[in-house]
Amino acid sequence: MSNPNAPQPKRPKSLLGPIVAALLIVALILSSLWTIPTLLTEVDQREPGEPMAVVTAPTEAGELPGVLKAAASSQDSPAPEGGSAPQGGEVQDIVDTELAGAPGNSSVTVLDAESGEVRVEREASETRIPASNQKVLTALTVAEHLDPYDRFATTVVTGETPHQITLLAGGDTLLAPGEGDTDAVNGHAGIDDLAQKTARALEDRGVQGEIEVGLDTELFTGPAVNPEWAEEDVAAGEITAVAPIAMYSHRVPTADGQDPGAWGERPDNAANAVAAEFRERLRAQLGEGITVSTGHHPAPEQGTELARVESAPVHEQTAYMLEHSDNSLAEALGRIAAREAGEQGSVVGVQRAIRAAMETHAIDLTGVDIQDASGMALSNRVTTGSLAQATRALLADPDLGPYGQGLPLGGATGTLTDRFDDPDEAAARGLTRAKTGTLNSVVSLSGYVQQSEGDVLVYSIVFNDVRGQTDSAKDAVDRTVAALAQG
């Protein structure tokens, strides 16, 4: 039989009829700070365990689906005060005014979210280093090939003998060492839970004596480290060897088993660290008289599943990746999407799958050079037109469901929490969702913003060659988006 933990084929998507899908926000935080238009205020009303509503097809030709329909209906919602950008000016004038004197080299594309019409192109055909805006392309690729409600299973299967079992990696790199937390994305499934289930299954089978635990990581192939990543970035832990199974997105848990956060230490081998943790937890569950040792056998094709735990849904993992700009999660999701696209779960597979997803959505690939899923490779080259088109696809394509809802909210969540903090940037707070990107010489932001009259614009702004002036470049970007919000 085939690998029982390979991601399942994508389920056919159904069009459920006209419903309005909401963007998820932290409404409690924002409500005390400013009035928020409809685009960003429809809080998810799910019951526990109920799936999020999907952005569905328009009811009539030309009518906006989901989040855009909600935005267009909010013309009476007042915009936040603040900022000195021109009111009601042409978009071109806004961009030219706000970017005058900005450092480095910049490219800009602004699209009308409803029609896709180009409103501004400024050096838009020039290819730039995107930094983490590359993750927008990865999110599009994941959305294209994985059902948003799919989950990755980590399983234990029987081996060639009754005393052999294999821990089978299924793509979940957000495992907790102890019990899983079903309310969390990172740490949703727990290794201790898997050990408890495995122990019960072995006891039911009457297995005694020594248990040999193998590890199967054949879901991913090829180099675990992309050769285009800078050695100093790997050494600093900005990115690490990619495995199809890991704790806390390739981080070492704290001493009490908690998520160490973005600055946590990287394990020497993420998959082996999970296997070691599983063996210890299993040994504790089985008790005296049974020993647990290390094996080196892959899962047999005819192995029987003994136990499993499952990750958070794929769309929640993708949102986590975008919100926290998680490089390792981006690479893991990219490899799984590559497998679903018919490629190998490898560096080359990711490169091919991203390009194929862009082609599917008629995104111009002229000059584009895709090297990774995270944006850590300085040899990535994209255009702002490509990034804007990908962002619009996530937002407006009814087949992509909730994937477009995962971008951070300006001034409130994820990597945008501390952005739009100056008076002349404040007009965008609560009115834009976007993916940030920052490297030593790169500042980028791709997302969408609601204007004061209710129109929604999709934008991509990428600065290169700003080494030593990244703060100035960020301010220029944020002022531009704030001005678009007021325009």
CB-count burial class (<10 Å; 0-12, 13-18, 19+) for 449: buried
Show the beta-strand stretches assigned E in 419-481.
Answer: 432-439, 442-450, 456-464
Q: Residue 453: pLDDT band by 50, 70, 90 thresholds?
A: confident
Longest dimension (CA), the chain: 78
**What pLDDT, on a 0 to 100 scale, did the predictor assign at position 401?**
72
The Cα 44–Cα 440 span in angstroms is: 37
Contact 273, 257 (CB under 8 A): no
Give kind and range of the element (H or E) at residue 445. Answer: strand 442-450
Q: Residue 300: pLDDT band by 50, 70, 90 thresholds?
A: confident
Q: Residue 231: pLDDT band by 50, 70, 90 thresholds?
A: very high
* C-alpha distances in Å from residue 237, one per residue of 233, 242, 250: 6, 12, 10
Contact 86, 94 (CB under 8 A): yes
**What pLDDT, on a 0 to 100 scale, did the predictor assign at position 55?**
28
3-state secondary structure of 329: helix
Which two tokens mark 192?
């201790």
CA angle 241, 247, 252 (to 5 degrees): 80
This prediction's pTM: 0.84
**What pLDDT, on a 0 to 100 scale, did the predictor assign at position 34?**
34
3-state secondary structure of 278: helix
Please say if the pLDDT value at position 421 is more than 90.
yes
Please say if the pLDDT value at position 460 is more than 50.
yes
Higher per-residue confidence, 148 vs 58: 148
**What pLDDT, on a 0 to 100 scale, did the predictor assign at position 8?**
43
Beta bridge partners, 438, equal: 443
Please say if the pLDDT value at position 392 is more than 90.
yes
Contact 398, 67 (CB under 8 A): no
Please say if the pLDDT value at position 35 is more than 80.
no
**Could you tell me how far CA 207 lies from the centroid of its own chain?**
41
**What pLDDT, on a 0 to 100 scale, did the predictor assign at position 402?**
79
Domain ranges of the chain: 27-146+317-486, 153-312
Please say if the pLDDT value at position 404 is more than 90.
no
The Cα 33–Cα 417 span in angstroms is: 13
**Could you tell me how far CA 163 lies from the centroid of its own chain?**
39
Higher per-residue confidence, 60 vs 468: 468
Contact 103, 112 (CB under 8 A): no
Please say if the pLDDT value at position 477 is more than 50.
yes
Q: Residue 290: pLDDT band by 50, 70, 90 thresholds?
A: confident
Q: What is the DSSP secondary-structure string of 391-418?
A: HHHHHH-GGGGGGGG-SPBTTTSGGGTT
Higher per-residue confidence, 62 vs 227: 227
Contact residues for 224 (Cβ-Cβ < 8 A; gap 6+)? 241, 242, 243
Please say if the pLDDT value at position 262 is more than 80.
yes
Question: What is the average pLDDT across 333-352?
Answer: 98
- Alpha-helix runs per DSSP H in 54-211: 66-72, 91-99, 134-145, 191-204
Q: Residue 184: pLDDT band by 50, 70, 90 thresholds?
A: very high
Average pLDDT, the chain: 84
Please say if the pLDDT value at position 28 is more than 90.
no
**What pLDDT, on a 0 to 100 scale, did the predictor assign at position 208?**
87
The Cα 120–Cα 105 span in angstroms is: 17
Q: Nearest CA to 67 among 319, 404, 316?
A: 404
Question: What is the average pLDDT across 92-104?
Answer: 94
Question: pLDDT digits over 135-168, tens only?
Answer: 999 999 999 999 999 999 999 999 989 999 999 9
Which two tokens mark 390?
């990908």
Question: What is the average pLDDT across 255-273?
Answer: 95
Question: pLDDT digits over 305-330, tens only?
Answer: 999 999 999 999 999 999 999 999 99
The Cα 12–Cα 29 span in angstroms is: 37
The Cα 463–Cα 376 span in angstroms is: 16
**What pLDDT, on a 0 to 100 scale, did the predictor assign at position 68?**
40
Q: Residue 443: pLDDT band by 50, 70, 90 thresholds?
A: very high
Contact 73, 454 (CB under 8 A): yes
Please say if the pLDDT value at position 250 is more than 90.
yes
Beta bridge partners, 460, equal: 109, 446
| The CATH number of domain 27-146+317-486 is 3.40.50.300 | no
**What pLDDT, on a 0 to 100 scale, did the predictor assign at position 248?**
98
